[in-house]
Structure 1
Amino acid sequence: MEGEAHLDQTIAGRFKYAIVLTALTLVAEVVGGIWTNSLALLSDAAHVFLDIFALVLSLVAIKLAAFPATDTRTFGWHRAEVFASFINGITVFLMALGIFYEGWHRLFDPQEVKSLPMFIIAVIGLVMNLFAASALHQHSHDDLNVRSAFLHVVGDAAASVGVIAGGLVMYFTDWFVVDAVISICIAFVIFWGAWRVLREASHILLEGVPRGLSVPEVVEAIHAVPGVNHVHNLNIWTICSHILALSAHVDILPEYKEERQAEVLRAIEEMLMQRYHISHTTLQAECTMCIEAPPVIKELRHRPRVRDQHGHHHDDGGHAHGPGCAHGHHH
């Protein structure tokens, strides 16, 4: 736990550093964009503004994840970072739509731009972005929250390069339609980054199997543990970037008495942690020796509902429900 807390503190410190740099870039590009009449620079400024939104949201998510579990939130607030990533992805996507719309109009109605000041301000923005990106890069590979923020900053750095190139072209040629072309290119860069973040965050929020993990491979590995006869009712999911979870019923061979069943389960847990980094496991030992083995993955069923004499729906516990879906538990 101490190592995890230290990791969160390190990431939080890097986020604060990136937020300060990004805020300075925002001020420079908003003032510069209005002064130079550059849509490309203002588009980059819009991206920077949402970079700050993303970074602050991600920092808040780290703080929330440090809160302890409670009797109403048994997983604590770890999922907050995934939710933050999802919101980041949506905001970036909407921003890209706005940039594309404005850029498309300027394609047919180019406006004069003060290209030299635009170039200088874009260079300043690029330098700030590179410093911010370098602060986040170390943790961007294994933390979805950091990766989403890192993509914001990298996308903005790429946009700054485009603005710099456009400023040079317009300075020497006065071909001001370049400003609109660069804005549209920035929009496409943002679309791609947003799609990747939304796809990953949605997969986690929908309880998908962690990317890179194969259910058949994990089942085979569990079967290879001495004493295991069969595995069923298996679920594998991601709680947050650092925590993978698994639950399963394990049918243990009858010659393994009760005290040895615990050893089998402990061996499974150690194997899952070492080989697949699955740190949150819930295993139920059984000794049924079923003639026909149940399926590895159990189909979820709705809680049964019955009508009372007044025609109202009730579940099997007697609580009335509306038209929504009530999910049952694994047994």
Structure 2
Amino acid sequence: MTATNPSENSENSSVDIEATKDGHDENAKGRRAEKVLWAVAVLSLVFIIAEFVGGFFASSLAIMTDAGHMLSDLLSFVISIVAIRTARQPPSKRLSWGYDRAEVLGAMISVIILWVLTTVLVLLAIERIVNNDLSVEADVMLITASVGVGFNIIMGGVLHFGSGGHGHAHHGGGHGHSHSHSHSHGGKNVNVRAAFIHVIGDLIQSIGVLIAALVIKFTGWELADPICTFFFSVIVLFTTIHVLRDIFFVLMEATPRHMDFNAVKEDLSALENVQSVHDLHMWSLNMDKTALSVHLAIAADHNGIRDFVRNCRKTRLRAPILGRLWAGLQGEDEISD
């Protein structure tokens, strides 16, 4: 945010808008998310082994594909853990915003893995139908699918209740234009959200496998196994749409959905001593952290600056994003340049 004084020579000053937490909440949130992801990764590994063994003895493609989904989840959990750790690295000269978007990239990679694997599984289901390779052991399939439903419910609970919470973290920084960023609006780390969607997809597929096992056991209709794989794999793809949409808007630096551009501009314009608001930009560094850049033309001298800061402290924008103000005072001739 740059505050422009039409009458003074160029100089820079830095003032706090409101007390900051120096990123402690974000770091704690990341560590909590990391612990949760490690927990579900261990659970996934245990169940993958059990499901591959069960699928082998049951000769069930549906169970094997479910195990494949779990394997992709395990890979995505590991990627997410690495992304969270990377995001905690301090900013550098080359990456002045830090590594916040490592989390977004990690979530994108995990979703891509799920899409690729699901496509492969759909092709395998079609191949099984074409080749009429349908023989399965319904009892083993039924037991394995039941265990799978239970495991996915447990993992979903761990992800949902183990990483929740709504927090705010305010970080400041600037150089000329100041950028204020924060406000945790999602409550959950984006990689935990992606992991939760993975688990929901696996739960859906496990339920489908369980239904297919019941159908095969009581009707003998073994075609239910590959059909189940095909149908529920398509559903899994649709469960990733919301995460992909959020990732797309972050990478495109779109105005965050939880913020009203016009409302923020009106709130800034309403501050005392502010004559005009120019070049307002709002974007997301990741799913939890919002950045703002704006040029404010304010009247008066340094007393006006102090009044402006006091007003900022008293004013709550309809989107709480201000963390630290960097005011660069410029002369009128510099504005025209």
Q: Which structure is higher in RCO with an 8 Å CA cutoff and minimum separation 6? A: 2
The equivalent residue for 2:247 is: 201
1:90 paired with 2:122, answer no
How has the CA–CA distance of structure 1 residues 269 and 88 changed in structure 2, closer, same or farther, with 3 Å as cutoff?
A: farther
| AA partner of residue 137 (structure 1) | H
Contact 2:58 2:137 in 1 (8 A): yes
Q: 2 CA distance for matches of 1:270 and 1:88?
A: 43
Measured against aligned partners, the alpha-carbon deviations of 1:308-331 in whole angstroms (never above 9, x if no partner) come to: xxxxxxxxxxxxxxxxxxxxxxx9
The RMSD of aligned alpha carbons is 2.6
How has the CA–CA distance of structure 1 residues 211 and 28 changed in structure 2, closer, same or farther, with 3 Å as cutoff?
A: same
Higher alpha-carbon deviation: 34-43 or 135-144 = 135-144
Contact 1:244 1:280 in 2 (8 A): no
Q: CA deviation at 1:173?
A: 0.9
1:178 paired with 2:224, answer yes
Aligned to 2:76, which of 54, 58, 61? Answer: 54
TM-score after normalising by structure 1: 0.80
Contact 2:62 2:225 in 1 (8 A): yes
Q: Which runs of 5+ in 1 are unaligned?
A: 295-330
Q: CA deviation at 1:5?
A: 2.5
Contact 2:250 2:284 in 1 (8 A): yes
The equivalent residue for 1:217 is: 263
Count of residue pairs brought into register by the alignment? 290
The equivalent residue for 1:13 is: 35
Contact 1:246 1:282 in 2 (8 A): no
2:285 alignment partner, SS class:
strand
Contact 1:265 1:283 in 2 (8 A): no
Q: Which runs of 5+ in 2 are unaligned?
A: 1-22, 165-185
Identity among equivalent positions (%) equals 27
1:123 paired with 2:146, answer yes
| AA partner of residue 278 (structure 1) | I
Measured against aligned partners, the alpha-carbon deviations of 1:53-77 in whole angstroms (never above 9, x if no partner) come to: 1111111111111211222222221
The equivalent residue for 1:261 is: 305
Contact 1:226 1:264 in 2 (8 A): yes
Q: 2 CA distance for matches of 1:158 and 1:4?
A: 32
1:106 paired with 2:128, answer yes
Contact 1:96 1:191 in 2 (8 A): yes
How has the CA–CA distance of structure 1 residues 275 and 39 changed in structure 2, closer, same or farther, with 3 Å as cutoff?
A: same
Contact 1:230 1:250 in 2 (8 A): yes
Q: 1 CA distance for matches of 2:56 and 2:148?
A: 15
1:278 alignment partner, SS class:
coil
Measured against aligned partners, the alpha-carbon deviations of 1:49-107 in whole angstroms (never above 9, x if no partner) come to: 11101111111111111211222222221110011011112111112211222222333
Q: 2 CA distance for matches of 1:37 and 1:152?
A: 25
Q: 2 CA distance for matches of 1:91 and 1:200?
A: 17
Aligned to 1:278, which of 306, 311, 321? Answer: 321
Measured against aligned partners, the alpha-carbon deviations of 1:105-132 in whole angstroms (never above 9, x if no partner) come to: 3334251111110111111122111111
| AA partner of residue 23 (structure 1) | L
1:161 paired with 2:184, answer no
Aligned to 1:27, which of 46, 49, 56? Answer: 49
Q: 2 CA distance for matches of 1:270 and 1:55?
A: 42
TM-score after normalising by structure 2: 0.78
Q: 2 CA distance for matches of 1:147 and 1:180?
A: 29
Contact 1:148 1:197 in 2 (8 A): yes
| AA partner of residue 136 (structure 2) | V
Contact 1:243 1:280 in 2 (8 A): no
Q: 1 CA distance for matches of 2:310 and 2:199?
A: 43
